[in-house]
Structure 1
Amino acid sequence: MIVLEFKAKGKTTQYAAIDEAIRTAQFVRNKVIRHWMDNRGVGQKELYRYNTKLRAEFQFVKALNSHACQVAVERAYSAIARFYSNCKKAIPGKKGYPTFKKNCRSLEYKTSGWSLSATRKQITFTDKKGIGKLKLKGTWDLNYYQLEQIKRVRLVRRADGYYVQFLVSAENKVDINPTGKTIGLDVGLKEFYTDSNGHTEANPRFYRTGEKRLRFRQRRVSRKKKGSANRKKAINRLGRVHLRISRQREEHAKRLARCVIQSNDLVAYEDLRIRNLVKNHCLAKSINDAGWYQFRKWLEYFGVKFGKITIAVNPSYTSQKCSSCGTLVKKSLSMRTHICQCGFVLDRDWNAAINILKSALSTTGHVGTWVINPNALGDSTSTLIGEILLKQVGSMNKESPHL
């Protein structure tokens, strides 16, 4: 599966119609969640039947394409199923009880409710919401694919406009020659990563760099009267700054991951739990700014695409163990040099990267077909609530550029 993304160009009235359609899908999802709360134990089929009742009761729901309403039900049931799964697994902390959404930003159609023009450069939404024909701006060529290959179409609202995403059923694997190289990566805050060869990649710190502009835009928002049109404009400008930072971080992780995967046959990295790490309030901002999860996600994605091995190893003692003799040398975060009693002296992160590679090689034994950590990608579903299509299926092409 691959995802092709285009910028949608239309009139102001069309954008308002898209917003209305998104609110309708949100209404259906929230009503389904309410029905489940009042009738605990109902299944997905019962929720579909309740959706049919909503379409008969509310005219604005009936105006939305039936498949789009079904997707809203699927989103609700996905949250319910995830809650039951977490309870069954007895995970610590909150179990993710389904909640109501108040700011949905996407609307998804299946195989009906839309049609492409002969040139494949315009899309027309044929339900009664009044969206009409939108121009598609982008570099992808939809003429390369058959209409039967397009399984879903999604409308996404972002701070800088509206986007149309196409989920296409197509292969996304590339055969490249093996390099015969292996590498271990130790991510950090001082440097973005240090590999087992001693090479370091600088940490760009996009959020830290953009904080001055964010503070300026946030002050503009706080000065505007609540509920006014000027406040909405100020919020949109603030959202654009956040969107730019997130795109910079994502593009940086994508570029580095692609280079690393193409240059090596085996890539090892730490199996970090970011959710636990950010509980340290002194380092939470820096950890989130580094974007370790995005980097790992792209490593695993390109590993599948190019047929390379990616291994997530246990991070325990990788920084404390001596890569030469194996002795544990206790170090605080401020100690940046590894000094062992055996006389081995090396940079702390470099030493950790070597330990990560050794641990990975002891796990696999040899370089062969690609191996991926099944816990890294999460659920492989196309109905995760609040997510863009790029995050829906593990095998999707995630290289669609943000326009």
Structure 2
Amino acid sequence: MIILEFKAKGKESQYSAIDEAIRTVKFIRNSCISLWLDNKGTGKSDLSRYSKILAKEFSFANELNSTARQAASERAWSSIVRFYDNCKKKVPDKKGFPKFQKRARSVEYKKSGWKLSPDKKSITFTDKKGIGKLKLKGTWDLWRFDKKQINRVRIVKRADGYYVQFCVAVNVKEEVEHTGEMIGLDVGLKEFYTDSNGHSEPSPRFYRKGERRLKFYQRRVSRKKKGSSNRRKAINRLGRQHLKISRQREEHAKRLVRSYRKKSAAFIVDRLCIKGGRFCCKAALF
């Protein structure tokens, strides 16, 4: 299973329609959580049926595709299941009790509610929300995959725009000749990691380097009047800076993994987890 992400290009009216669809998903998800709180023994099928009831009662919920409503109820159920699992495993401290969602950033469709163009360079959402046709900007070769392999389509809102994600069911298997070498990686605080050969990778400290700009944009947010358009713009600029730092961290980690993958060596990563005042050491073999 792989995720292919593209930048979505459309009109302002289409972006407003996406925002409305995201708000509808949040409403359905929170309504399902409320049903679970009020009725003991509520299961996954009950939440799925309740999403149909909401569509009959509220016109804005009926405008959303039925599979997107099901996906919203599944989000609520996944948070409930996670809470149950943490209780059974006796996880220390907070168990992750399901809460009402204040901010939502995505809407997810299954097999229906969308249609790809023949050249697969644009996608049209066919429900009544009015999203319509969005152009896809990216470097992934989506045309290589059959439409039947696409299990889900998700629209994600970020600080720098809207993105369309495709969940493609493929078996990713890379045949690499193993050299027989095994390397251990110890992730630390001062150094990003130190391997068993004595090589240390310095910590990039992306957050510390960008902290000055973050403080600057945070001050701008605090000075703006609540509810004003200028405050929304300042919040968006702050979010873009946070997004830049998170992408720097992700790309840095990918680059290091690729460098070891090219050596065709198995490596063990050891990381220290601090949770609930307890120390636990975990290792993973790749």
State TM-score, norm by structure 2: 0.95
Question: C-alpha offsets along residues 322-354 of structure 1, whole Å, 9 cap, x if unaligned?
Answer: xxxxxxxxxxxxxxxxxxxxxxxxxxxxxxxxx
What SS does the corresponding residue of 1:239 show, helix, strand or coil? helix
How far did 1:265 drift? 2.6
Question: Match for residue 180 of structure 1?
Answer: 180
Matches within 5 A, 1:320-339: none
Q: Does the CA-based 8 Å contact 2:63-2:128 persist in structure 1?
A: yes
Higher alpha-carbon deviation: 168-177 or 23-32: 168-177
Measured in 2, the distance between the counterparts of 1:274 and 1:12 equals 44
Question: Match for residue 104 of structure 1?
Answer: 104
Say yes or no: does 1:95 pair with 2:66: no
Say yes or no: does 1:54 pair with 2:54: yes
Matches within 5 A, 1:180-199: 180-199=180-199
Matches within 5 A, 1:77-226: 77-226=77-226
How far did 1:207 drift? 0.2
Greater share of residues in strand: 2
Q: Does the CA-based 8 Å contact 1:80-1:98 persist in structure 2?
A: yes
Q: Does the CA-based 8 Å contact 2:14-2:132 persist in structure 1?
A: yes
Measured in 2, the distance between the counterparts of 1:191 and 1:73 equals 43
Matches within 5 A, 1:1-400: 1-275=1-275, 312=283
What SS does the corresponding residue of 2:262 show, helix, strand or coil? helix
Measured in 2, the distance between the counterparts of 1:77 and 1:113 equals 22
Amino acid at match of 2:210: G
Question: Match for residue 385 of structure 1?
Answer: none
Question: C-alpha offsets along residues 160-204 of structure 1, whole Å, 9 cap, x if unaligned?
Answer: 000000011112111112122111111222221111111111111
How far did 1:81 drift? 1.1
Amino acid at match of 2:113: G
Q: Does the CA-based 8 Å contact 1:183-1:264 persist in structure 2?
A: no
Q: Does the CA-based 8 Å contact 2:93-2:276 persist in structure 1?
A: no
Q: Does the CA-based 8 Å contact 1:218-1:238 persist in structure 2?
A: yes
Question: C-alpha offsets along residues 77-119 of structure 1, whole Å, 9 cap, x if unaligned?
Answer: 0111111111122222111111000101011000000001111
What SS does the corresponding residue of 1:193 show, helix, strand or coil? strand
What SS does the corresponding residue of 1:93 show, helix, strand or coil? coil
User: Identity rate of aligned residues, in percent?
Assistant: 63
Q: Does the CA-based 8 Å contact 2:186-2:271 persist in structure 1?
A: no
**Structure 1 runs not aligned, ≥5 long:** 281-310, 314-370, 373-403
Higher alpha-carbon deviation: 4-13 or 80-89: 80-89
Question: C-alpha offsets along residues 214-264 of structure 1, whole Å, 9 cap, x if unaligned?
Answer: 011011101100010000000000000000000000110111012123324
Amino acid at match of 1:182: M
What SS does the corresponding residue of 1:178 show, helix, strand or coil? coil
Q: Does the CA-based 8 Å contact 2:177-2:264 persist in structure 1?
A: no
Measured in 1, the distance between the counterparts of 2:93 and 2:76 equals 22
Amino acid at match of 2:95: K
What SS does the corresponding residue of 1:269 show, helix, strand or coil? strand
Q: Does the CA-based 8 Å contact 1:261-1:267 persist in structure 2?
A: no
What SS does the corresponding residue of 1:312 show, helix, strand or coil? strand
Measured in 2, the distance between the counterparts of 1:72 and 1:32 equals 9
Measured in 2, the distance between the counterparts of 1:275 and 1:226 equals 36
Q: How many residues align?
A: 284
How far did 1:125 drift? 0.2
What SS does the corresponding residue of 1:35 show, helix, strand or coil? helix
Measured in 2, the distance between the counterparts of 1:203 and 1:276 equals 26
Measured in 2, the distance between the counterparts of 1:200 and 1:213 equals 29
Q: Does the CA-based 8 Å contact 2:224-2:230 persist in structure 1?
A: yes
Amino acid at match of 1:88: K
Measured in 2, the distance between the counterparts of 1:112 and 1:227 equals 37
State TM-score, norm by structure 1: 0.68
Measured in 2, the distance between the counterparts of 1:50 and 1:192 equals 48
Higher alpha-carbon deviation: 130-139 or 80-89: 80-89
The structure-2 alpha-carbon separation of the partners of 1:89 and 1:162, relative to structure 1 and needing over 3 Å to count, comes to same
Q: Which runs of 4+ in 1 moved over 6 A?
A: none
Q: Does the CA-based 8 Å contact 2:26-2:72 persist in structure 1?
A: yes
How far did 1:269 drift? 2.2
Amino acid at match of 1:312: A
Measured in 2, the distance between the counterparts of 1:223 and 1:195 equals 47
